Structure 1
């Protein structure tokens, strides 16, 4: 049984989570996260902790940001887009149990406002910004680190927010350069 409550978008996501692990969930009911849902998430965070596991798409990212802003200290799990896509549909509900278990094994805690251990220069030197393949490289790096895909500015924020160390960053880059993706 996972101690923390997992926040997902909908009922189908809860079904997918329960196929993969024994855990309790809170469903946001989509992208319109209302006060009642935020109150439930706050209570869960105070009592047991919360893991946010939303779809790897724009709407899922929006929900993640809303919750993270209103309920500090949440943990985050990310399923790579490729593992959450079936027949063109992106969502946690499409992920295999193994992909959900892998995402939950690489949970990160948000430290909003924490200084980054990785510099903008490091990110640029790694070809993750201002590079012809920057977007593709960020996608692979995000999957390796378990922080999800994001644009360059958001990558800098996530590296700081999740306190990715220079050693973790270097190891992930080594895997990326070797042609791996996890």
Structure 2
């Protein structure tokens, strides 16, 4: 599998693992202290070939994703569920299987900010218990994994659902399935 876009990753181990899974070029941020030179290289890559941001499913990874997206609009996003990125020495893309990496790169999202009518997600999030309840965090984790948008807290979830243009029907069908599985387990 060949990836046209340049993949932004956190470090050398991520690059090595991605190159085992797919044919692709990467830019390494070397952690969350992204310097201006790296951001300029990412801007250049976006202009020439496009960029996919593929960071670890943890706080530093999300921080890198936000910084890059803020400085280089229009990037695509690939997400890795936490359970597929766990290793004996931590959490990260470098611990994922080749197949999990391929799957994440086949489920890439492009952010679009067109003239679509905005959705007020709060009533939907409340109705499905995604704010403040005992199961809220677990449900948000499952939703993020199934929609391939990554885990987010309640406030960030609203933003991601909008940015990735998830439809209400797609959201409701996914949440209905999650709730059905919850009921079947009890």
The TM-score normalised by the length of structure 1 is 0.93
Alignment of 1:80-119 (within 5 A): 80-87=81-88, 89-111=90-112, 116-117=118-119, 119=121
**Aligned 8 A contact 1:117 1:163 in 2:** no
Alignment correspondent of 2:137:
135
Query: In the alignment, is residue 75 of structure 1 matched against residue 49 of structure 2?
Result: no
Deviation (angstroms), 1:167: 2.3
Give the count of matched residue pairs. 180
1:75-104 per-position Cα deviation (integer Å, ceiling 9, x unaligned): 111100110011250011001011111111
Alignment correspondent of 1:165:
167
The TM-score normalised by the length of structure 2 is 0.91
**Aligned 8 A contact 1:41 1:50 in 2:** yes
Distance 1:137 1:108, change over 3 A: same
Q: Any gaps of 5 or more consecutive residues in structure 1?
A: none
Alignment correspondent of 1:177:
179
Distance 1:115 1:11 in 2: 41
Distance 1:7 1:161 in 2: 19
Q: Any gaps of 5 or more consecutive residues in structure 2?
A: none
**Aligned 8 A contact 1:51 1:74 in 2:** yes
State which structure, 1 or 2, has the greater radius of gyration over its C-alpha atoms.
2
Provide the aligned C-alpha RMSD in A. Answer: 1.7
